[in-house]
Amino acid sequence: MAGHSKWSNIKHRKGAQDKKRGKLFMKLAREIFMAAKQGGGDPDTNPPLRIAVDKARSNNMPNDNVDRAIKKATGDLDGVNYEEYTYEGYGPGGVAVMVKVLTDNKNRTAADVRHAFNKNEGNLGENGCVAFMFNRSGYLVIDRPSMEADEESVMLEAIEAGAEEMETTAERFEIYTEPESFSDVKASLETSGYEFVTSEVTMIPETYTELDEEGVEKMLKLIDMLEDNDDVQEVYHNLDADESILEKLA
């Protein structure tokens, strides 16, 4: 799983820009809604819901919003019915892209996603055309400057907690887990006093597609357009972009 810094650098660059709180809270509420609908409204017995709630709270989503999303899913409040879909395709330069959506209107969302690909020199493909390039993984990020612990100590505790791997950059400790053990690893490290700036189960690419500055700019426009769609929950991709190019374009 080595080499994920290519992916995480772009992910954190995007995360720093995704602070439109109303839009973000709406996406988080839909994620909570789906998890509660599929597995019940108790986070203690529904791990996907617990992950979704933790993600919402890490983004400072009010508890009232969290409770409302759960109640809508369990029938205690009236609300629209969302369905989950994943679209796959290729961005500029052949970058693999997966788009996870929650929508109450599949036709509208499919048309919007296709439009985003077409407008940004991409192509929407068939289901399965790029999914094999990604692995589902738990992902935990600790802000390194805020920690007094050294790399070896964090790594040992992460491994003892059940993590698969840890990578270190100047800014972050990045911990990877099996999806099934994500909640246990996170809980164990939290008990040890660690706090996370990111904690989620996500899709990580096995290989990467490198683009020049022009290609990176086009690909980031596609990501922006997709993420600006209210129905889009997550955009996964395998873009490899040089840090200097990302800083320039930012």
Over residues 172-216, the pLDDT tens digits come to 899 999 999 999 999 999 999 998 988 889 999 999 999 999 999
Helical spans, DSSP H, in 59-120: 63-73, 106-119
**234-248 mean pLDDT:** 87
pLDDT value for 2: 45
Dump the DSSP string for 164-212. SEEEE-SSEEEEEE-GGGHHHHHHHHHHTT---SEEEEEEEESS-EE--
Both tokens of 14, joined, read: 């995007």
In the chain, domain spans = 5-73, 83-132+208-249, 134-205
How far is 165 from 144, CA to CA, in rounded Å?
A: 16
pLDDT for 212-240, tens place per residue? 999 999 999 999 999 889 899 999 999 98
**Over 90: is that where the pLDDT of 37 sits?**
no
**Over 90: is that where the pLDDT of 241 sits?**
no
What is the 8-class DSSP label of residue 135? E
Q: What is the pTM of this model?
A: 0.79
Angle between helices 182-191 and 151-161 (to 10 degrees): 130
pLDDT value for 156: 93
Measured CA angle at 196 (ends 69, 100), to 5 deg? 45
8 A C-beta contact, residue 56 and residue 65: yes
Note whether 5-73 and 134-205 share their fold: no
**Class (C level, CATH) for 134-205:** alpha beta
CATH of domain 83-132+208-249: 3.30.70.980
For residue 42, how many other CB atoms are within 10 A of its CB?
12
How far is 88 from 172, CA to CA, in rounded Å?
A: 30
How far is 51 from 35, CA to CA, in rounded Å?
A: 9
pLDDT value for 9: 62
8 A C-beta contact, residue 6 and residue 208: yes
**DSSP count for the chain of H helices, then E strands:** 9, 10
Q: Which CATH architecture has domain 5-73?
A: Orthogonal Bundle (1.10)
**Over 50: is that where the pLDDT of 1 sits?**
no
Report the relative pairing of strands 198-205 and 209-210 from DSSP bridges: unpaired
pLDDT value for 6: 61
